[in-house]
Amino acid sequence: MPPKAANAVFLLSCPDQRGIVAAVSDFIYRNHGNIVSADQHSDEEQGTFLQRIEWELSGFRLPREAIGEAFRPIAERFGMSWDLRFSDHVPRVAIFVSRLDHCLHDLLWRQRIGELRAEVAFVISNHPDLRSVAEAFGVPFHVHETEPETRGASAEAMLRRLREGGIELVVLARYMQVLPPAFVASLPSRIINIHHSFLPAFAGARPYHQAHERGVKVIGATAHYVTAELDQGPIIEQEVARVSHRDSVADLIRKGRDLERVVLARAVNLHLAHGVLVYGNKTVVFD
Amino acid sequence: MPPKAANAVFLLSCPDQRGIVAAVSDFIYRNHGNIVSADQHSDEEQGTFLQRIEWELSGFRLPREAIGEAFRPIAERFGMSWDLRFSDHVPRVAIFVSRLDHCLHDLLWRQRIGELRAEVAFVISNHPDLRSVAEAFGVPFHVHETEPETRGASAEAMLRRLREGGIELVVLARYMQVLPPAFVASLPSRIINIHHSFLPAFAGARPYHQAHERGVKVIGATAHYVTAELDQGPIIEQEVARVSHRDSVADLIRKGRDLERVVLARAVNLHLAHGVLVYGNKTVVFD
Amino acid sequence: MPPKAANAVFLLSCPDQRGIVAAVSDFIYRNHGNIVSADQHSDEEQGTFLQRIEWELSGFRLPREAIGEAFRPIAERFGMSWDLRFSDHVPRVAIFVSRLDHCLHDLLWRQRIGELRAEVAFVISNHPDLRSVAEAFGVPFHVHETEPETRGASAEAMLRRLREGGIELVVLARYMQVLPPAFVASLPSRIINIHHSFLPAFAGARPYHQAHERGVKVIGATAHYVTAELDQGPIIEQEVARVSHRDSVADLIRKGRDLERVVLARAVNLHLAHGVLVYGNKTVVFD
Amino acid sequence: MPPKAANAVFLLSCPDQRGIVAAVSDFIYRNHGNIVSADQHSDEEQGTFLQRIEWELSGFRLPREAIGEAFRPIAERFGMSWDLRFSDHVPRVAIFVSRLDHCLHDLLWRQRIGELRAEVAFVISNHPDLRSVAEAFGVPFHVHETEPETRGASAEAMLRRLREGGIELVVLARYMQVLPPAFVASLPSRIINIHHSFLPAFAGARPYHQAHERGVKVIGATAHYVTAELDQGPIIEQEVARVSHRDSVADLIRKGRDLERVVLARAVNLHLAHGVLVYGNKTVVFD
């Protein structure tokens, strides 16, 4: 029996065609499900249809483990990629950091007050500096150094730790290291990074210095999925703040901290609420 | 035969219950409609379900005039209030103004470049000042004075003009007169006003003076449907701008102009795109 | 000898008249000071001139304690109210809280990373709940209960604690009690409160519930100095965020937390940087 | 005798050093001027001091034409670049457009209602399309075609027209042609362009298409002075708007129009109010 308040969520994508919405909602209705939220998007250029649909498991006639099998004929008819998730599943998350604590601190605090619906299994860093921050929240902290000569071995060790820890999402909370391609490839759309600029402007190193040098009147932060190409992955969320000639680089860094932690938290929460669908190099965000 | 690119839109509301989404989408699918957009909202406190669903008429098996009759059984089963609209219908709109031209000018310009999907049938004012603005866009301009002693007769004359002109939406584009209750009652959720503050702050007269007096750091504008109570109707859209001690009342008025015209245009466009549902004293905005 | 990097700051106000800027800057220059920042404002309605001027003490010919006496003739000539502050003075601050930790946590974190240039002497609360938050940052935590019958005595005890602690600024970080008039009067322009709405909208209790009920499309937060009248004091800073019909009261509270902590931190930092001048019921914010 | 309400404005820059503020304000005071506004900025990296200071000419002891000569010794002492302007001078402006009318229409409307303190001498375009827009506001419209083979001659003809018309500022209001280097060099910091992205992102052609392709969640507009390098000049003003996966390229273009016209108007007004100082490839904006 499913627990009382839990919902099921389908995340679907397929070639756009007639009858998808009707077929999916009919499937849920026939099995006595009550749809609490449905949103969809058609990308007309690519001819792609994407949908998020959520319904109450209370009263639903199929047990969780049978839903997939029952839905398979519909999925096959429309050529769907699909994912079935449950709102009461609390995923295990690992946070990667370097030396700056603002995003880590913010995520751990949000987790503690119940805003971030995940279990933070551990924190990984290439420096020992933030151990006390993690431990103050009761979260284990592991150092994995990333010297040039040990880089490959270190990435493998981290990956092993993620697997053994049953990690479903990695959050790079100002982790200032580039992860090797094999690492990234093993967690597709499961690594979220915060970059401290409004991408695609100021990709790469020291974006606040670049912004100050260019004399922009607005700075930003971008949360995106990590892909093989640096700072080029699908964007989940962005936010900006006004600046002026009065702001030094230090001021941009200070103002940027408030942007970064909010943008990263929003992106992680959207992901955890099963609200983000990736297609091509873009996201559809159902909020 | 429906013209090629036209879509149909259902705007529905009813007591929340199982099977609504499935029944409506199945109705469309059974008649060979392709759903291009669907959005819904459940107000849990009030137990109200609201939906906007749009599908292509091309290939749909029912002619436009038969859709309502065919849908009736579903509507009755769920106790729905509902509205059927067509995307190729271009509604006739009347704009009411007094002496300030920024909103009028902006709406007429947007209409001319094709952004505002409506026909502006005429402009009504209690002053002759803005005749040249209307006429520069080829729109008739009618003065209806509103002296205290002729107020009632004037409102009746205006209402007659609206009826004879087949007006479906009245836009108060900085019309500085209070419309009598009978006038308002005859156009429920069909009169949109722009108020130059972020309501509920600074309702009533001279909001920028009030804002300056209070020393706020943010000003705003609010577009809302007009109801019997002044500045209390359902809010469609709001926007704000930062101000500082350096801004005089004249600066607030100047900055506010940019807010007002954008907020009003967005609200009118949302209404014209059949994106706004009113329930209680609130709106659901499907954008 | 003044320490190397310290600056002096004058905050002035007086009736507007010729020669103020010249007299003040000449005073500084004659004594070999280098002006690093100067900003001013004339309120034309009230005929009031306000200025903030900051200069390097390094090389300045007057010792700190002699500046006031030397400046007195100029102040008297123009009828100035004035304040002299030093950038290396680290004021002692007390934070008042009730049960919500987001603002407290944020302020303590900012203090720890060096962003909040103050010493947090202690935290006062009417509940024991947040003791662990304060103590995790090494800050003493005192409970002062505020039952109706002990209210007066409690306010006196708190005031005594502030005096004995040499507190120069009180920050109400979601302290859900009204402070008695005598308490407020003893700390003029030295108590900063965060209110969880864009004042003057939704003053008083439960502003997010009020906002949800009204159906606004924007919510806000306001930091202001506390005066005798509830939620009516001079506004220092405000910020807003967009919301929609999809947001429940719980969502508004969640989104509001991010607003509140940022707005309060900005206001406290502006105050600590000697950037806020109060006149009438307004502020001039030199940032 | 200077007319009653006029003010004088100094825009200064020089190597940062002691005594500048005192010397300049003393110069004004000694001549019986009342300073109504003063703002300054020190760029510590470059060691540059910049100031804007404005005073009333009413009662000032020097006639306008003698101010420069009297100020020369101070300017020489500090090695200043400086500019003297008068608030009652109404500069002559030329607007360049191609086929899109939103910025042109907006600027002409602002000029008509008195918000843009300039005389629009004429409009130049490489297409005849917008003639009726200019003429509806009573502004002459000149077509200068820019075919590859006549490009050089055309630029010379335009430049001649600007000179003969006494033009002090050129506004590129979505003028889709690159101006030749000699043209740009002859009007340093006197050509303002609006680019339809938040630069440096999406420089070059079709920025909304680029933004849609990249899947950003925020779009922007940038007003900047034109320099030899395309889209690389000093930024005066930027603004952004949120977008989502629901926005097509056409939606970005529509939302962008509202950004572009506001950003361009703000930049032009800041320039006309003598509020912008260029140094290096940046601006200081005194607002």
Per-residue pLDDT tens over the stretch C61-81: 999 999 999 999 999 999 999
pLDDT at residue C209 greater than cutoff 60: yes
CB contacts, 8 Å: C284 with chain B: 245
- CA distance linking residue D24 with residue D51, whole number of Å: 10
Distance CA C280, CA C222 (A): 18
pLDDT of C104 reads 98
To test the contact with chain C by mutation, choose from D14, D21, D26, D43 the residue with the greatest count of C C-beta atoms within 10 A, namely D21
- Average pLDDT over chain C, rounded to an integer: 95
| Chain A residues with CB-CB distance to D281 below 8 A | 214-215
Judge whether C39 counts as a catalytic residue.
no
Q: What percent of chain C has pLDDT over 70?
A: 99
The model carries a pTM of: 0.96
Q: With H, G, I as helix, E, B as strand and everything else as coil, classify residue C15.
A: strand
Find the closest chain D residue to A44 by CA distance: D248
CB contact under 8 A, B29 and A23: yes
pLDDT, tens only, B142-201: 999 988 888 889 999 999 999 999 999 999 999 999 999 999 999 999 999 999 999 999
The per-residue DSSP string of C203-215 comes to -SS-HHHHHHHHT
Tokens 């909103």, located at residue = B103
> Hey, of A41, A189, A218, A284, which one would you mutate to test binding to chain D, going by the most D CBs within 10 A of its CB?
A218
Residue % of chain D over a pLDDT of 90: 91
Lowest mean pLDDT among A101-105, A255-259, B43-47, D197-201: B43-47
How does residue D150 score in pLDDT terms, banded at 50, 70 and 90? Answer: confident
Band the pLDDT of D4: cuts 50, 70, 90. low
pLDDT value at A146 more than 90: no
Contact B193, B233 (CB under 8 A): yes
Pairing outcome for strands B191-195 and B169-172: parallel
Q: If we measure between CA atoms, which residue out of A31, A50, A175, A37 comes closest to residue A100? A: A175
Residues comprising chain B, all counted: 287
Nearest to D262 among B113, B136, B258 (CB): B258
Q: What is the Cα–Cα distance from A173 to A152, expressed in whole angstroms?
A: 21
Of A198, A239, A246, the CB nearest to D198: A198
Cα B71 to Cα B51: distance, rounded to the nearest angstrom: 15
Between CA C179 and CA C184 the distance in angstroms is 7
Mean pLDDT of chain A: 95
Q: Report the alpha-carbon distance of residue C170 to residue C189 in Å, rounded.
A: 10
Handedness of CA D16, D21, D22, D23 (dihedral sign): positive
Exposed (0-12), middle (13-18) or buried (19+): which is B93, by Cβ within 10 Å?
buried
pLDDT grade, residue C4 (50/70/90)? low
Q: What is the pLDDT of residue B146?
A: 87
User: Is pLDDT above 50 for D1?
Assistant: no
**Which residues, 6+ apart, have CB-to-CB distance to A36 below 8 Å?**
A7, A54, A55, A56, B42
Q: Over the stretch C23-64, which tens digit does the pLDDT of each residue have?
A: 999 999 999 998 989 999 999 888 999 999 999 999 999 999
pLDDT in single tens digits along all 287 residues of chain B: 444 579 999 999 999 998 898 899 999 999 999 888 899 999 988 899 999 999 999 999 999 999 999 999 999 999 999 999 999 999 999 999 999 999 999 999 999 999 999 999 999 999 999 999 999 999 999 999 988 888 889 999 999 999 999 999 999 999 999 999 999 999 999 999 999 999 999 999 999 999 999 999 999 999 999 999 999 999 999 999 999 999 999 999 999 999 999 999 999 999 999 999 999 999 999 98
Closest among C251, C198, C277 to C40, alpha carbons compared: C277
Residue C123 has φ and ψ, to the nearest 5°, of -115, 135
**Is the CB of residue C279 less than 8 Å away from at least one CB of chain A?**
no
pLDDT at site A3: 45
| pLDDT at residue C5, rounded to an integer | 76
Distance from A133 to chain B by nearest Cα, in Å? Answer: 36
Q: b vs e for A246-281, b when ≥16 Cβ sit within 10 Å of the residue's Cβ? A: ebeeeebbbbbbbbbbbbbbbbbbbbbbbbbbbbeb
In this predicted model, which residue has the larger pLDDT, A183 or D1?
A183
Q: Which amino acid is at C126?
A: N
- pLDDT of A4 reads 53
Would an 8 Å CB–CB cutoff place B246 in contact with chain D? Answer: yes
Q: Which residues of B are annotated as catalytic? A: 231
- Asked whether the beta carbons of residue D258 and residue B262 sit closer than 8 angstroms, the reply is yes
Give the per-residue pLDDT at D146: 87
Contact (Cβ atoms closer than 8 angstroms) between residue D181 and residue D228: yes
pLDDT of A144 reads 96
State the pLDDT at residue B148: 84
Considering only alpha carbons, which residue of chain B is nearest residue A47? B36
The HSE-up count of residue B24 (CA atoms within 13 Å, CB side) is 31
pLDDT band at D107 (very low <50, low <70, confident <90, very high): very high
pLDDT value for A206:
97
Chain C hits for A101, Cβ within 8 Å: 113
Radius of gyration of chain D (CA): 21
Percentage of chain A beyond pLDDT 90 is: 90
Query: Among C101, C106, C231, C247, which one carries the catalytic annotation?
Result: C231
For residue A197, give every residue at least 6 positions away whose Cβ sits within 8 Å of its Cβ, in sequence order, or none.
Answer: A203, A207, A208, A210, A211, A219, A220, A221, A222
Q: Over 60: is that where the pLDDT of A227 sits?
A: yes
Partner B contacted by A26 (CB < 8 A): yes
- Catalytically active residues of D are 231
Could you give the ipTM of this predicted complex?
0.95
Is B21 in contact with A37 (Cβ distance < 8 A)? no
Residue B150 is predicted with a pLDDT of 84
Q: State the Cα–Cα distance between residues D5 and B146, nearest whole angstrom.
A: 38
Examine the pLDDT at C2 and tell me if it is beyond 60. no
Chain A residues with CB-CB distance to C240 below 8 A: none
pLDDT confidence band for D151 (50 / 70 / 90): confident
Q: Are A15 and A28 in contact (CB under 8 A)?
A: no
User: Average pLDDT for residues C125-138, to the nearest whole number?
Assistant: 97
Catalytic residue among A101, A106, A231, A247: A231
- C115: contact with A, CB 8 A cutoff: yes
Distances, alpha carbon D93 to alpha carbons B164, D112, D115, D118, in Å: 47, 14, 14, 7
D27-67 pLDDT, tens digit each: 999 999 989 889 999 998 889 999 999 999 999 999 999 99
Alpha-carbon distance of C3 to B173, in angstroms, equals 61
A157-181 confidence digits (pLDDT tens): 999 999 999 999 999 999 999 999 9
Tokens 């009067």 map to which residue?
A: C185
In this complex, the residue of C25, C37, C242 whose CB is nearest that of residue D22 is C25
Q: Which of A136, A246, A258 shows the shortest C-beta gap to C136?
A: A136
Range A14-24 average pLDDT: 92
